[in-house]
Amino acid sequence: MNGLTIGKIAGSAGLAVETIRFYEREGLIEPPLRSSTNYRLYPERDILRLRFIRRAKDLGFTLKEIRELLSLRQDPHATRADVKKQTAAKITDIGEKIRDLTRMKVILESLDSSCDGCGPTSSCPILNALESGDGLECKAAAQRTISYGSVESDL
């Protein structure tokens, strides 16, 4: 019986053994055949599929989105437009995350600048602002446009 053990396929795909098992449980790769000694034996073609999954994860695709991309890859009726639509949706999602992270950064910078780092925590402006929420959104809204403009122009 031919095939690669889980350790060999994991090494070739640049993934951990547990990750391979997880992808198998999630249905991203088919359960492999078993040897007479009950070892998983993966076909070599799974290396390409696992690399695809790893690269897609590195680009921020969720397992659900990766499953969709894999199904597009195998669907003879799927078009490049279908794949481009998935990619455009991911770009939009990443843009939203950048905006959210920028907003959080602006708020945290504002909180950080409001505290001199001296004195007891009972009068800490950072903890007080987090507790009350006073002014957090107002400060962020005033700086959001400036921050987003610089982030977007740097991309």
To the question of domain 6-60 being in CATH 1.10.1660.10, the answer is yes
Q: What's the one-letter identity of residue 118?
A: C
What pTM does this model have? 0.75
- Can you give the pLDDT at residue 135? 63
| Nearest 10 degrees: Cα torsion 7, 9, 10, 13 | 160
Burial of 20-30, coded b for 16+ CB within 10 Å and e otherwise, reads beebbeeebbe
CA 66/CA 6 separation, integer angstroms: 21
Q: What is residue 96's predicted lDDT score, i.e. its pLDDT?
A: 96
Position 20 scores a pLDDT of: 96
Give CA–CA dist 137/144, Å, rounded: 10
pLDDT at 136: 72
Please check whether residue 87 is in contact with residue 79, taking contact to mean a CB–CB distance below 8 angstroms.
Answer: no
Domain ranges of the chain: 6-60, 90-154
pLDDT confidence of residue 2: 81
Looking at this protein, which amino acid is placed at residue 144?
R
pLDDT at 16: 97
pLDDT-flagged residues of the chain (< 70): 1, 135, 137-155
First to last CA, the chain: 51
Query: Nearest 5 degrees, angle CA 36-CA 51-CA 93?
Result: 135
